[in-house]
Amino acid sequence: MKPLLRHFAKRDRSPLAAANGPAASTGALWPGQVVFPTGSADAGAWRRRLQLVRAITLSPGALVILAGQSRLDNWAMLLASMVLGRRRAAFFHGAAFASMPGRFGALADAVLLRHCHGVFVGSERGCARAIAADVPPRRIFACRPPAVLPDRFDAGTALRERIEHAPAPHAPNFLHIGTLTHAPALLLLLRAFAAARQTWPAATLSLVGTGPGYGRLRATANALGLGSSVRFLGTMAQPDFATEYRKASCLVLPDAAQRWHPLVREALSYGCPVVVSVNNDDAGELVRDGVTGLYFKAGDTAALAGSLAQVPRQFGDAAATAARCQAIALEDTPASAGRAIAAGCMRIMAAKE
């Protein structure tokens, strides 16, 4: 099957890209305004939405890009821009759409996308969902989000450090990063890890993060006989994740409701393979089975346990694995994403509708 989505810059363009017409010149940098100097998460949900609406109202811009932290953020921006007669574009591969919605949520997403003049998608599945929501292909633009990496990041250094610190195949170290809740995904991970230890008795599981579920997760780990093989590492600053990627056999993201996670590309950039459920949009694209990671049937303990047990065999060659991961993860950069966004915005403004 031919891919639905390609980069603007690639020569073998898909029918989707062809419908968008020739790539536009993006020109110089556009002026910008920082709405949330300390980050939008610090503003609080309703205050954040009010500030977004205020920023749209005061801005002279003719195009509003919906890139909120939640679906309600995007709806607030959509309604404000419609009232003001502004054109709209939505990021369909961002935080607001990262989780799988219910039936009503899926309908709301479709309505929102249909009221936009353009939709930026970051995966083949995202493109297919946009088309299923009746978004015309000419309004769909490819924009794969790059990894958020520190300014001092150097791929060569990361590769050497990964090779130096990668765990021995007989003692794999599985890594999970996220808030600790007593959610089904983390219980699934603990049970799958317990099963995988039957194959690899020296295996460890490192959990980075804190949350209300810590006590119950610790009790569950003890009840499963995991003891000190599960390490609760607490909160870490994002730059410190790099140290854990180097020491991990893989990053594990077991949440079946998660379509997209920014840590997938970040971990791969440091040469660390990733295990995700088949529901994740990166399964088959960034996470290529047996190449840069593994994917398993969502919600299936035995399937996840089987994937964990395969990791030391599939990715025992740290140097080759890290090189493959970096080659795929670093293909998309902030510069290429910026060019894709700018080109898409210019096409939206040039469209006669």
Domain boundaries defined on the chain: 15-145+332-350, 155-329
Q: How far is CA 336 from each of CA 5, 23, 143, rounded to the nearest angstrom? A: 15, 13, 8
Q: How many CB atoms sit inside 10 A of residue 21's CB? A: 11
Integer Cα distance of 130 and 333 in angstroms: 24
Average pLDDT across the chain, whole number? 88
Residues 107, 351, 70, 99, CA torsion sign: positive
* Whole-structure pTM value: 0.86
Paired with 205 in beta bridges are: 174, 230
Residue 5's pLDDT band (boundaries 50, 70, 90)? very low
Integer Cα distance of 126 and 23 in angstroms: 21
Q: How many CB atoms sit inside 10 A of residue 30's CB? A: 9
- As a whole number, mean pLDDT of residues 297-301 equals 96
pLDDT tens digits for range 284-295? 999 999 999 999
- As a whole number, mean pLDDT of residues 139-152 equals 92
Q: Give 143's contacts (C-beta < 8 A, 6+ positions apart).
A: 91, 93, 120, 121, 122, 337, 340, 341, 344
Give, for 194, the enclosing helix (H) or strand (E): helix 184-196
Helix axes 301-314, 184-196, angle to 10 degrees: 50
Residue 95's pLDDT band (boundaries 50, 70, 90)? confident
pLDDT tens digits for range 96-118? 788 878 888 889 999 999 999 99
Integer Cα distance of 332 and 146 in angstroms: 5
32-36, 132-136, 161-165, 270-274: segment of lowest average pLDDT: 32-36
Integer Cα distance of 147 and 331 in angstroms: 10
Which has more confidence, 3 or 151?
151
CB–CB of 281/93 below 8 Å?
yes
pLDDT tens digits for range 166-193? 999 999 999 999 999 989 999 999 999 9
Which residue, among 301, 287, 215, has the nearest Cα to 251 in the 3D structure?
287
Q: Which residue has the tokens 């110089």?
A: 28
State yes or no: pLDDT of 333 exceeds 80: yes
Amino acid at 94: G
CB–CB of 177/233 below 8 Å?
no
Which residue, among 289, 297, 5, 329, has the nearest Cα to 145 in the 3D structure?
329
Share of the chain above pLDDT 70, in %: 88
Residue 353's pLDDT band (boundaries 50, 70, 90)? low
Q: Give 316's contacts (C-beta < 8 A, 6+ positions apart).
A: 169
> Can you say whether residue 101 is alpha, beta or left, with left for phi > 0 and alpha for psi between -120 and 50 degrees?
beta
Q: How far apart are the first and last CA of the chain?
A: 32
Paired with 234 in beta bridges are: 208, 209
Residue 59's pLDDT band (boundaries 50, 70, 90)? confident
Paired with 120 in beta bridges are: 91, 141
Paired with 88 in beta bridges are: 64
- As a whole number, mean pLDDT of residues 275-284 equals 94
State yes or no: pLDDT of 27 exceeds 80: no
Q: Give 268's contacts (C-beta < 8 A, 6+ positions apart).
A: 147, 274, 286, 292, 293, 325, 326, 328, 329
Integer Cα distance of 212 and 37 in angstroms: 29
Give, for 90, the enclosing helix (H) or strand (E): strand 87-91
On whether the 155-329 domain is CATH 1.10.540.10, my answer is no
| Torsion, CA 87, CA 93, CA 98, CA 103, rounded to 10 | 60
**Confidence at residue 78, expressed as pLDDT on a 0 to 100 scale:** 96
